[in-house]
Structure 1
Protein backbone atom coordinates (compact mmCIF):
# COMPACT_ATOMS: atom_id res chain seq x y z
CA UNK A 1 0.00 0.00 0.00
CA UNK A 2 1.21 3.45 -0.81
CA UNK A 3 -0.38 6.37 1.00
CA UNK A 4 0.22 8.45 -2.13
CA UNK A 5 -1.03 5.81 -4.57
CA UNK A 6 -4.33 6.07 -6.38
CA UNK A 7 -7.66 5.08 -4.94
CA UNK A 8 -9.26 2.56 -7.29
CA UNK A 9 -13.05 2.56 -7.45
CA UNK A 10 -14.63 -0.31 -9.33
CA UNK A 11 -18.24 0.69 -9.83
CA UNK A 12 -20.47 0.28 -12.88
CA UNK A 13 -23.06 2.91 -11.89
CA UNK A 14 -22.00 6.34 -13.19
CA UNK A 15 -24.07 8.17 -10.57
CA UNK A 16 -22.32 6.24 -7.79
CA UNK A 17 -18.95 6.95 -9.42
CA UNK A 18 -19.78 10.64 -9.32
CA UNK A 19 -20.87 10.52 -5.66
CA UNK A 20 -17.78 8.56 -4.61
CA UNK A 21 -15.55 11.03 -6.45
CA UNK A 22 -17.32 13.99 -4.85
CA UNK A 23 -16.99 12.48 -1.36
CA UNK A 24 -13.26 11.87 -1.81
CA UNK A 25 -12.77 15.38 -3.15
CA UNK A 26 -14.79 16.87 -0.26
CA UNK A 27 -12.51 15.02 2.17
CA UNK A 28 -9.54 16.84 0.68
CA UNK A 29 -7.85 13.58 -0.24
CA UNK A 30 -5.09 14.33 -2.75
CA UNK A 31 -4.81 10.77 -4.08
CA UNK A 32 -5.83 10.33 -7.70
CA UNK A 33 -9.10 8.42 -8.05
CA UNK A 34 -9.28 5.95 -10.93
CA UNK A 35 -12.67 4.48 -11.87
CA UNK A 36 -13.38 1.19 -13.61
CA UNK A 37 -16.85 -0.01 -14.60
CA UNK A 38 -16.07 -3.72 -14.19
CA UNK A 39 -13.61 -6.10 -12.61
CA UNK A 40 -12.08 -7.18 -15.90
CA UNK A 41 -10.83 -3.68 -16.75
CA UNK A 42 -9.58 -3.21 -13.20
CA UNK A 43 -7.74 -6.54 -13.28
CA UNK A 44 -6.02 -5.54 -16.52
CA UNK A 45 -4.91 -2.29 -14.86
CA UNK A 46 -3.63 -4.07 -11.72
CA UNK A 47 -1.66 -6.59 -13.78
CA UNK A 48 -0.05 -3.92 -15.95
CA UNK A 49 0.56 -0.89 -13.74
CA UNK A 50 3.72 -0.07 -11.88
CA UNK A 51 1.70 2.10 -9.49
CA UNK A 52 1.09 0.92 -5.95
CA UNK A 53 -2.58 1.75 -5.30
CA UNK A 54 -3.57 3.00 -1.87
CA UNK A 55 -7.02 1.39 -1.72
CA UNK A 56 -9.60 -0.55 -3.74
CA UNK A 57 -13.29 0.31 -3.28
CA UNK A 58 -15.29 -2.30 -5.16
CA UNK A 59 -18.91 -2.98 -6.00
CA UNK A 60 -20.03 -6.60 -6.20
CA UNK A 61 -22.58 -6.74 -9.02
CA UNK A 62 -20.93 -5.61 -12.25
CA UNK A 63 -20.82 -6.79 -15.85
CA UNK A 64 -18.00 -8.94 -17.31
CA UNK A 65 -16.37 -9.72 -13.95
CA UNK A 66 -18.04 -9.09 -10.61
CA UNK A 67 -16.27 -8.00 -7.45
CA UNK A 68 -16.00 -11.46 -5.92
CA UNK A 69 -14.48 -12.85 -9.12
CA UNK A 70 -11.98 -9.97 -9.19
CA UNK A 71 -10.97 -10.67 -5.60
CA UNK A 72 -10.44 -14.35 -6.45
CA UNK A 73 -8.17 -13.42 -9.38
CA UNK A 74 -6.16 -11.11 -7.14
CA UNK A 75 -5.78 -13.87 -4.55
CA UNK A 76 -4.58 -16.32 -7.23
CA UNK A 77 -1.84 -13.98 -8.49
CA UNK A 78 1.32 -13.83 -6.42
CA UNK A 79 2.25 -10.52 -8.10
CA UNK A 80 -1.06 -8.91 -7.12
CA UNK A 81 -1.17 -10.45 -3.63
CA UNK A 82 2.28 -9.03 -2.88
CA UNK A 83 1.01 -5.54 -3.68
CA UNK A 84 -1.18 -6.00 -0.57
CA UNK A 85 -3.73 -3.43 -1.69
CA UNK A 86 -6.52 -3.01 0.87
CA UNK A 87 -9.71 -4.32 -0.77
CA UNK A 88 -13.04 -3.06 0.57
CA UNK A 89 -16.48 -3.84 -0.79
CA UNK A 90 -18.76 -0.81 -1.02
CA UNK A 91 -21.95 -2.16 -2.52
CA UNK A 92 -25.73 -2.17 -2.46
CA UNK A 93 -25.70 -5.97 -2.69
CA UNK A 94 -25.52 -7.09 0.91
CA UNK A 95 -26.76 -10.25 2.53
CA UNK A 96 -25.19 -12.68 4.97
CA UNK A 97 -24.09 -15.08 2.22
CA UNK A 98 -22.28 -12.33 0.25
CA UNK A 99 -20.61 -11.01 3.39
CA UNK A 100 -19.39 -14.51 4.26
CA UNK A 101 -18.15 -15.10 0.70
CA UNK A 102 -16.34 -11.75 0.72
CA UNK A 103 -14.51 -12.45 3.97
CA UNK A 104 -13.71 -15.98 2.81
CA UNK A 105 -12.01 -14.21 -0.12
CA UNK A 106 -9.97 -12.20 2.43
CA UNK A 107 -11.40 -8.73 1.85
CA UNK A 108 -10.56 -6.12 4.44
CA UNK A 109 -14.02 -4.60 4.73
CA UNK A 110 -17.62 -4.84 3.57
CA UNK A 111 -19.91 -1.82 3.58
CA UNK A 112 -23.49 -1.64 2.43
CA UNK A 113 -23.63 1.61 0.47
CA UNK A 114 -25.61 4.23 2.30
CA UNK A 115 -28.67 5.42 0.38
CA UNK A 116 -27.82 9.06 1.21
CA UNK A 117 -24.85 11.12 0.07
CA UNK A 118 -24.04 12.15 3.65
CA UNK A 119 -24.05 8.52 4.73
CA UNK A 120 -21.82 7.52 1.81
CA UNK A 121 -19.49 10.42 2.61
CA UNK A 122 -19.09 9.22 6.21
CA UNK A 123 -18.50 5.62 5.07
CA UNK A 124 -15.75 6.70 2.67
CA UNK A 125 -14.24 9.02 5.30
CA UNK A 126 -14.11 6.15 7.80
CA UNK A 127 -12.51 3.77 5.28
CA UNK A 128 -9.85 6.24 4.12
CA UNK A 129 -8.96 7.42 7.64
CA UNK A 130 -8.55 3.83 8.79
CA UNK A 131 -6.22 2.88 5.94
CA UNK A 132 -4.19 6.09 6.18
CA UNK A 133 -3.34 5.26 9.80
CA UNK A 134 -2.99 1.48 9.48
CA UNK A 135 0.40 -0.23 9.21
CA UNK A 136 0.67 -2.45 6.19
CA UNK A 137 3.20 -4.91 4.71
CA UNK A 138 4.30 -2.41 2.06
CA UNK A 139 4.25 0.64 4.33
CA UNK A 140 7.50 2.33 5.31
CA UNK A 141 8.00 1.84 9.04
Structure 2
Protein backbone atom coordinates (compact mmCIF):
# COMPACT_ATOMS: atom_id res chain seq x y z
CA UNK A 1 0.00 0.00 0.00
CA UNK A 2 1.37 3.44 -0.89
CA UNK A 3 2.50 5.56 2.01
CA UNK A 4 2.97 9.23 2.70
CA UNK A 5 6.56 10.20 2.05
CA UNK A 6 8.78 12.59 3.91
CA UNK A 7 10.70 14.51 1.22
CA UNK A 8 13.67 16.83 1.54
CA UNK A 9 13.56 19.22 -1.42
CA UNK A 10 16.93 20.88 -2.04
CA UNK A 11 16.28 23.68 -4.51
CA UNK A 12 17.29 27.35 -4.61
CA UNK A 13 14.69 28.49 -7.17
CA UNK A 14 11.40 29.63 -5.60
CA UNK A 15 9.46 28.93 -8.79
CA UNK A 16 10.72 25.34 -8.86
CA UNK A 17 9.70 24.90 -5.21
CA UNK A 18 6.25 26.21 -6.05
CA UNK A 19 6.00 23.76 -8.98
CA UNK A 20 6.66 20.83 -6.66
CA UNK A 21 4.06 22.07 -4.17
CA UNK A 22 1.56 22.76 -6.98
CA UNK A 23 2.11 19.28 -8.39
CA UNK A 24 1.45 17.69 -5.01
CA UNK A 25 -1.82 19.59 -4.66
CA UNK A 26 -2.97 18.96 -8.24
CA UNK A 27 -2.26 15.22 -7.90
CA UNK A 28 -3.98 15.04 -4.50
CA UNK A 29 -0.78 13.83 -2.82
CA UNK A 30 -0.11 14.51 0.83
CA UNK A 31 3.62 13.94 1.08
CA UNK A 32 5.47 16.04 3.66
CA UNK A 33 8.07 18.37 2.18
CA UNK A 34 10.91 20.10 3.98
CA UNK A 35 12.75 22.65 1.86
CA UNK A 36 16.42 23.63 1.80
CA UNK A 37 17.90 26.35 -0.42
CA UNK A 38 21.26 24.65 -0.97
CA UNK A 39 23.36 21.67 0.03
CA UNK A 40 24.79 23.38 3.10
CA UNK A 41 21.33 24.12 4.49
CA UNK A 42 20.22 20.56 3.69
CA UNK A 43 23.18 19.06 5.55
CA UNK A 44 22.31 21.16 8.61
CA UNK A 45 18.70 19.94 8.41
CA UNK A 46 19.81 16.31 8.14
CA UNK A 47 22.26 16.59 11.05
CA UNK A 48 19.55 17.90 13.34
CA UNK A 49 16.96 15.24 12.55
CA UNK A 50 16.31 12.02 14.41
CA UNK A 51 14.00 10.85 11.62
CA UNK A 52 15.52 11.14 8.17
CA UNK A 53 13.49 11.90 5.05
CA UNK A 54 12.32 8.99 2.92
CA UNK A 55 13.73 10.55 -0.25
CA UNK A 56 15.63 13.64 -1.33
CA UNK A 57 14.89 15.72 -4.43
CA UNK A 58 18.11 17.50 -5.37
CA UNK A 59 18.90 20.27 -7.83
CA UNK A 60 22.50 20.33 -9.09
CA UNK A 61 23.01 24.05 -9.73
CA UNK A 62 22.88 25.85 -6.38
CA UNK A 63 24.98 28.35 -4.42
CA UNK A 64 27.25 27.47 -1.49
CA UNK A 65 27.28 23.66 -1.58
CA UNK A 66 26.05 22.57 -5.02
CA UNK A 67 24.33 19.29 -5.82
CA UNK A 68 27.43 17.30 -6.73
CA UNK A 69 29.29 18.47 -3.62
CA UNK A 70 26.24 17.61 -1.51
CA UNK A 71 26.09 14.11 -3.02
CA UNK A 72 29.74 13.42 -2.22
CA UNK A 73 29.33 14.57 1.38
CA UNK A 74 26.10 12.62 1.86
CA UNK A 75 27.46 9.38 0.42
CA UNK A 76 30.53 9.54 2.67
CA UNK A 77 28.33 9.64 5.80
CA UNK A 78 27.44 6.18 7.17
CA UNK A 79 24.10 7.44 8.54
CA UNK A 80 23.00 9.24 5.36
CA UNK A 81 24.52 7.31 2.46
CA UNK A 82 21.51 5.05 1.83
CA UNK A 83 18.98 7.86 1.47
CA UNK A 84 17.48 7.69 -2.02
CA UNK A 85 18.31 10.82 -3.97
CA UNK A 86 16.44 11.88 -7.09
CA UNK A 87 18.24 14.60 -9.02
CA UNK A 88 15.77 17.03 -10.60
CA UNK A 89 17.74 19.50 -12.68
CA UNK A 90 17.87 21.62 -15.81
CA UNK A 91 21.20 20.03 -16.69
CA UNK A 92 20.89 17.66 -19.62
CA UNK A 93 24.67 17.23 -19.62
CA UNK A 94 25.32 13.49 -19.99
CA UNK A 95 28.54 13.77 -17.96
CA UNK A 96 26.55 15.21 -15.03
CA UNK A 97 24.11 12.31 -15.30
CA UNK A 98 26.88 9.69 -15.31
CA UNK A 99 28.76 11.40 -12.50
CA UNK A 100 25.63 11.45 -10.33
CA UNK A 101 25.00 7.76 -10.91
CA UNK A 102 28.65 6.98 -10.13
CA UNK A 103 28.22 8.74 -6.78
CA UNK A 104 25.09 6.72 -6.07
CA UNK A 105 21.83 8.47 -6.90
CA UNK A 106 18.52 6.65 -7.29
CA UNK A 107 17.22 8.66 -10.25
CA UNK A 108 17.84 11.61 -12.56
CA UNK A 109 15.13 13.79 -14.09
CA UNK A 110 15.73 16.68 -16.46
CA UNK A 111 13.17 19.41 -15.77
CA UNK A 112 10.87 19.60 -18.77
CA UNK A 113 9.66 22.94 -20.09
CA UNK A 114 5.95 22.09 -19.94
CA UNK A 115 4.34 21.87 -16.52
CA UNK A 116 2.23 18.87 -17.60
CA UNK A 117 5.36 16.85 -18.39
CA UNK A 118 6.95 17.93 -15.11
CA UNK A 119 3.86 16.82 -13.21
CA UNK A 120 3.78 13.44 -15.01
CA UNK A 121 7.43 12.74 -14.24
CA UNK A 122 7.05 13.72 -10.59
CA UNK A 123 3.96 11.52 -10.21
CA UNK A 124 5.80 8.48 -11.58
CA UNK A 125 8.71 9.01 -9.19
CA UNK A 126 6.45 9.56 -6.18
CA UNK A 127 4.26 6.57 -7.00
CA UNK A 128 7.33 4.36 -7.23
CA UNK A 129 8.96 5.53 -4.01
CA UNK A 130 5.72 5.40 -2.03
CA UNK A 131 5.65 1.61 -2.52
CA UNK A 132 9.39 0.90 -2.61
CA UNK A 133 10.60 -1.70 -0.11
CA UNK A 134 13.64 0.37 0.92
CA UNK A 135 11.26 2.93 2.38
CA UNK A 136 8.48 0.59 3.42
CA UNK A 137 10.79 -2.01 4.95
- Do they superpose with TM above 0.5? yes
Report the Cα distance in structure 2 between the residues aligned to 1:23 and 1:100, rounded to whole angstroms: 27
Quote the offset at 1:139 in angstroms: 3.0
Q: TM-score, normalised by structure 2?
A: 0.92
How large is the RMSD of aligned CA atoms in angstroms? 1.3
Report the Cα distance in structure 2 between the residues aligned to 1:104 and 1:132, rounded to whole angstroms: 24
- Equivalent residue for 1:61? 61
Quote the offset at 1:52 in angstroms: 2.6
Within the alignment, does 1:118 sit opposite 2:104 as a pair? no
Contact 1:8 1:33 in 2 (8 A): yes
Pairs aligned (count): 135
Report the Cα distance in structure 1 between the residues aligned to 2:63 and 2:14, rounded to whole angstroms: 13
Within the alignment, does 1:96 sit opposite 2:68 as a pair? no
- Equivalent residue for 1:28? 28
Contact 1:5 1:52 in 2 (8 A): no
- Equivalent residue for 1:131? 129
Quote the offset at 1:25 in angstroms: 2.0
Quote the offset at 1:131 in angstroms: 0.7
**Residue number among 106, 109, 133 corresponding to 1:108 in the alignment:** 106
Quote the offset at 1:54 in angstroms: 1.8
Displacement over 2 Å in runs of 4+: none
Contact 2:111 2:118 in 1 (8 A): yes
Quote the offset at 1:4 in angstroms: 3.8
Quote the offset at 1:36 in angstroms: 1.1
Report the Cα distance in structure 1 between the residues aligned to 2:29 and 2:5, rounded to whole angstroms: 11
Report the Cα distance in structure 2 between the residues aligned to 1:69 and 1:20, rounded to whole angstroms: 23
Q: TM-score, normalised by structure 1?
A: 0.89
